[in-house]
């Protein structure tokens, strides 16, 4: 078995891995990147914004259960991360509001990925279609990995620092059931299909700490009965407007404050009977939010029309009384749901569960009905790290020589969300800055 010697080995070539690798090259290190897919970019190719909470107070409010060290590092490092993107020659738009509490920038993720790929190809080594078989250790420190090349040959890669950046475990049904929810494996995947827990398994094999148990996932509501045809559907079919609508489960009751955010409602729905529910918007919500852009500058898509065109479960009721004629096979009591909507409208600000961010009544027909279910982007459970990406050991302290970044990490979010591209960027840069001095010393 032949050997490759390098300073920094990065396992995974998505946003986090390519950021780490490019920064490490910029710091003068020798870099090898291993990616099991034939192409690079991962789920970053489906994104268009880098965003997070604008300050510590907001981050603490929306993500109180997240690791304090990591959430502070994310906020503190975000501006430098945006400058890094610009420094690679990628245009970054001015900041816009995101999700009502975040601030972020639109940028061309495809161009960013391609620029990083070009730099890694030019100054380092990029091995695609290459599987990581195992991490190598010596005296308790990670010293690289054994990999299998596309032709079946195996190689040992000796590295001063090894960075796990495989994108999470959302594509592995068993890990999803174990770490998200027993019903989670049934969720459609709005992510790349190769992020199947490689990083988590590799980290656990060398004694890494993982968590946080039961911390949830990032995803969105999508129509039932409509499959994703391609990655463009990940955004087109996501029912972001749910934060202005009403959602009823199979007991014909609301169960969460929908206005806190579609991503939080998706987590709540997973825990309800059969993980499906009826999302109902009135004329106001349809006009202002179904037909509007989710984020300023994004292309607006009529989610109701798209669902109807694609054969999803949906319907139009001219008034609340018509909800009584919902198809029986759907399993809901339309008359009871109509009564519940009237009760919500009558209760106003006193309604429970509350509607903190949009208490306006849904009292203008017609009513637009879509049956919905949650879809999974990435989990919040993962490898525990410090603010520089160093992997924590299950027994305390750190695992020498090992780093983790991007959606492989855990602990940052706990039933909360403040960006996916931003952590990949911030912790990718931080890991490179910490790994290079240690690796080349």
**Beta-carbon-side half-sphere exposure of residue 131 (alpha carbons within 13 Å):** 10
Question: Read out DSSP for 157-196?
Answer: EEEEEEEE----STT-HHHHHHHT-TTGGGS-B-S-TT-S
C-alpha distances (whole Å) from 4 to each of 8, 92, 155, 434, 441 are 11, 37, 7, 22, 18
CA atoms within 13 A on the CB side of 124: 30
Q: H helices of 145-282, where?
A: 173-179, 198-205, 233-236, 262-270
Length of the chain (residues)? 441
The reply to whether CATH 3.90.700.10 applies to domain 219-376 is yes
The HSE-up count of residue 23 (CA atoms within 13 Å, CB side) is 27
Domain with CATH 3.50.50.60 in the chain: 2-214+380-440
Asked if residue 118 has a cis previous peptide bond (ω within 30° of 0), the answer is no
As a whole number of angstroms, the longest Cα–Cα distance in the chain is 74
Q: Residue 392: in which H helix or E strand, if any?
A: strand 390-392
What is the three-class DSSP state of 320?
A: helix
Amino acid 247: pLDDT: 99
Yes or no: say if 49 and 98 are a contact pair by the CB < 8 Å rule.
yes
Architecture of the domain spanning 2-214+380-440: 3-Layer(bba) Sandwich (3.50)
Start-end ranges of CATH 3.90.700.10 in the chain?
A: 219-376
Residue 34 DSSP SS3:
strand
DSSP for residue 421: H
**Residue-wise pLDDT tens for the chain (441 aa)?**
579 999 999 999 999 999 999 999 999 999 999 999 999 999 999 999 999 999 999 999 999 999 999 999 999 999 999 999 999 999 999 999 998 899 999 999 999 999 999 999 999 999 999 999 999 999 999 999 999 999 999 999 999 999 999 999 999 999 999 999 999 999 999 999 999 999 999 999 999 999 999 999 999 999 999 999 999 999 999 999 999 999 999 999 999 999 999 999 999 999 999 999 999 999 999 999 999 877 776 778 899 999 999 999 999 999 999 999 999 999 999 999 999 999 999 999 999 999 999 999 999 999 999 999 999 999 999 999 999 999 999 999 999 999 999 999 999 999 999 999 999 999 999 999 999 998 887
**Where does 318-366 show beta strands of DSSP type E?**
none
Q: State the pLDDT at residue 1.
A: 59
CA distances from 262 to 250, 256, 324 (A): 19, 11, 26
Adjacent-strand bridge partners of 144: 136, 158
């Amino acid at each position: 078995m032949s050997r490759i010697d390098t300073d920094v080995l990065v396992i995974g070539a998505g946003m986090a891995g390519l950021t780490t690798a490019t920064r490490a090259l910029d710091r003068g290190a020798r870099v090898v990147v291993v990616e099991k897919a034939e192409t690079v970019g991962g789920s970053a190719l489906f994104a268009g914004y880098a965003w997070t909470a604008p300050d510590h107070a907001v981050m603490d409010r929306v993500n109180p259960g997240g690791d304090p060290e990591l959430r502070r590092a994310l906020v503190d490092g975000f501006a430098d991360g945006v400058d890094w993107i610009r420094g690679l020659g990628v245009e970054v738009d001015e900041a816009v509001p995101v999700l009502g509490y975040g601030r972020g920038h639109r940028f061309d993720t495809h161009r960013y990925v391609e620029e990083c790929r070009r730099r890694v190809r030019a100054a380092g080594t990029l091995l695609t279609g290459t599987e990581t078989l195992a991490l190598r250790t010596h005296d308790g420190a990670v010293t690289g990995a054994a990999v299998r090349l596309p032709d079946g040959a195996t190689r040992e890669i000796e590295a001063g620092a090894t960075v796990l950046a495989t994108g999470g475990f959302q594509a592995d049904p068993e890990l999803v059931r174990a770490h998200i929810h027993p019903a989670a494996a049934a969720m459609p995947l709005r992510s790349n299909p190769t992020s199947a827990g490689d990083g988590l398994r590799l980290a656990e094999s060398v004694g890494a700490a993982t968590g946080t148990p039961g911390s949830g996932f990032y995803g969105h509501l999508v129509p039932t009965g409509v499959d994703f045809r391609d990655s463009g559907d990940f955004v087109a079919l996501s029912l972001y407007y749910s934060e202005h609508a009403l959602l009823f489960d199979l007991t014909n009751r609301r169960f969460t404050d929908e206005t806190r955010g579609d991503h939080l409602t998706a987590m709540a729905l997973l825990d309800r009977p059969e993980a499906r529910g009826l999302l109902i918007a009135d004329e106001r919500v349809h006009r202002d939010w179904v037909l509007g852009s989710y984020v300023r500058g994004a292309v607006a898509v009529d989610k109701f029309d798209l669902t109807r065109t694609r054969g999803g479960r949906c319907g139009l009721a001219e008034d609340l009384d018509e909800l009584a004629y919902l198809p029986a096979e759907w399993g809901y009591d339309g008359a009871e749901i109509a009564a519940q909507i009237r009760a919500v409208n009558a209760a106003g600000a006193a309604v429970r569960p509350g509607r903190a961010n949009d208490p306006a009544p849904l009292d203008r027909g017609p009513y637009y009905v879509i049956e919905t279910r949650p879809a999974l982007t990435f989990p919040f459970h993962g490898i525990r790290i410090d603010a520089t990406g160093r992997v924590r050991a299950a027994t305390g302290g750190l695992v020498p020589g090992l780093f983790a970044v991007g959606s492989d990490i855990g602990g940052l979010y706990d039933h909360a969300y403040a960006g996916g591209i931003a952590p990949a960027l911030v912790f990718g840069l931080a890991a490179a800055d910490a790994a290079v001095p240690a690796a080349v010393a």
